Chains A and B, each alone.
Chain A
Amino acid sequence: MHSFGYRANALLTFAVTILAFICAIASFSDNFSKQTPSAQIQLFRSLILLDSDVCGGKPVKILNINWFQKQPHGNDEVSLTLNITADLQSLYTWNTKQVFAFVAAEYETSKNSLNQVSLWDAIIPEKEHAKFWIQISNKYRFIDQGHNLRGKDFNLTLHWHVMPKTGKMFADKIVMSGYRLPDAYR
């Protein structure tokens, strides 16, 4: 009853139980943090280009915005410059490892009830970096399934995923609507 094996077994079981309990409590404590994030996104120049089918062809890059090109089998592609201001500092708790933030353009077309295209994302490991201002062009290509983007109204949504040190992950978003693409290709 008091051999080394029994003692080691009892100790290990106890340690694992306590560890699991601590992880659960840490995750549970995340429910109590008050979160008040804020964000603002401004759109700068935007170009719409016709892209040849995503599978193989090269996209048409237009530097001069007064350009119109027509291709028979193409999907619309947009290039945007975004100006993002956000304050996500209130999302951080002692159990937060990082916050993954991304901006997605969301719109509806005749064929698709919802399209979500991620334009930019960032990993923010520290609270100090969570209040930021950044002006970039889209990190990921904004390509539609079809030719539906002319004159299209769309929302820009800032999503964030809080990834904890242990336990449950939280996600939420701010929807900013009222953005519109130009009526003609440029």
Chain B
Amino acid sequence: MGYIGETVDSIKSIKIRQLLTQAVTLGMIVTSALIIWKALMCVTGTESPVVVVLSGSMEPGFKRGDILFLHMTKEPIRAGEIVVFSVDGREIPIVHRAIKVHERKNTKEVDVLTKGDNNDIDDIGLYAEGQMWLHRHHIMGRAVGFLPYVGWVTIIMTEKPIIKYILIGALGLLVITSKD
């Protein structure tokens, strides 16, 4: 009860200069996070340098909730590489392994077939209607490293958005009421 009274008192006593300072500080934090994210995109060469594993199709290697670090180079795609690709018409990227690769002689274009380690059949059913192969432009990156369990935070926030709002609300309240 005393804590709530203190919080209310501190909100009442905010001065304009202090408020502005805090707003600028918050803006700085957000922008530096954005800068780091964009720099990562540049360094790794992909649009999403970090992805969260959403399905169990690559178990026991990657479980739901792991995060993968991606990297994309100009090197040709070879069999066995774990690639992250998106299919036309579907938003969610899929993380599977390339099992067949056919590379054209002259143009260096490549046909790739993928399959999840834990699936019995290959991914032809996941591709777009009539599509038999993946091409380079479908592939967003190759997985080079991974961290277990860290992705659960993102999964929980996506599947239960109420938690996201509570968290942002609490953080906002903390920033406003702190006396720094």
Give the residues in chain B near A102, CB-CB below 8 Å: 79-80, 99
Q: How many residues of B contact A (CB 8 A)?
A: 29
Give the residues in chain B near A98, CB-CB below 8 Å: 60-61
> Which of these, A54, A100, A112, A166, contacts B117 with CB under 8 Å?
A100
Contacts A116-B79, A123-B61, A159-B80 given; indicate if A168 touches B144 (C-beta within 8 A): yes
Contacts A100-B61, A123-B61, A163-B61 given; indicate if A118 touches B79 (C-beta within 8 A): yes
A111 and B99: CB pair below 8 A? Answer: no
Question: For the complex, is A127 an interface residue (Cβ under 8 Å from B)?
Answer: no
Give Cα A140 to B111, complex, Å.
17
Contacts A23-B147, A159-B79 given; indicate if A117 touches B60 (C-beta within 8 A): no
Please tell me which stretch of B47-55, B88-96, B100-108 contacts chain A, meaning at least 4 of its Cβ atoms lie within 8 angstroms of it.
Answer: B100-108
> Which of these, B104, B111, B148, B174, contacts A166 with CB under 8 Å?
B148
Contacts A97-B60, A97-B61, A98-B60 given; indicate if A123 touches B117 (C-beta within 8 A): yes
List residues of B (116-132) whose CB comes within 8 Å of A's CBs.
Answer: 117, 122, 132
A167 and B117: CB pair below 8 A? Answer: no
Nearest neighbor of B103 in chain A, beta-carbon distance: A114
Contacts A111-B105, A123-B117 given; indicate if A116 touches B60 (C-beta within 8 A): no
Question: For the complex, is B5 an interface residue (Cβ under 8 Å from A)?
Answer: no
Give Cα A114 to B78, complex, Å.
9
Question: For the complex, is B145 an interface residue (Cβ under 8 Å from A)?
Answer: yes
A140 and B99: CB pair below 8 A? Answer: yes
Give Cα A115 to B99, complex, Å.
11
B105 and A112: CB pair below 8 A? Answer: yes
A166 and B80: CB pair below 8 A? Answer: no
What 0/1 readout, one digit per residue, does chain A (153-185) give for beta carbons within 8 Å of chain B?
000000101011111110101000000000000
Give Cα A163 to B68, complex, Å.
12
Contacts A100-B61, A104-B79, A104-B80 given; indicate if A167 touches B146 (C-beta within 8 A): yes
Give the residues in chain A near B78, CB-CB below 8 Å: 116
Give the residues in chain A near B79, CB-CB below 8 Å: 102, 104, 116-118, 159
Which of B61, B78, B104 gathers the greatest number of chain A CB atoms within 10 Å? Answer: B61
Give the residues in chain A near B132, CB-CB below 8 Å: 54-55
Give the residues in chain A near B108, CB-CB below 8 Å: 113
Contacts A145-B111, A171-B80 given; indicate if A116 touches B143 (C-beta within 8 A): no
Contacts A111-B104, A167-B146, A171-B80 given; indicate if A118 touches B61 (C-beta within 8 A): no
Nearest neighbor of B78 in chain A, beta-carbon distance: A116
Question: For the complex, is A89 an interface residue (Cβ under 8 Å from B)?
Answer: no
Give Cα A117 to B102, complex, Å.
8
Contacts A102-B80, A161-B80, A167-B145 given; indicate if A125 touches B60 (C-beta within 8 A): yes
Give Cα A116 to B122, complex, Å.
15
Give Cα A111 to B110, complex, Å.
12
Question: For the complex, is A5 an interface residue (Cβ under 8 Å from B)?
Answer: yes
Query: Which 6 pairs across A and B sit closest by C-beta, in order of nearness?
Result: A116-B79, A118-B99, A113-B105, A116-B101, A114-B103, A168-B145
Residue pairs across A and B with Cβ atoms less than 8 A apart, 8 shown, are: A5-B174, A98-B60, A116-B101, A121-B117, A125-B60, A145-B111, A159-B80, A161-B82
Which residues in B have some Cβ–Cβ distance to A below 8 Å? 60-62, 76, 78-82, 97, 99-105, 108, 111, 117, 122, 132, 143-148, 174
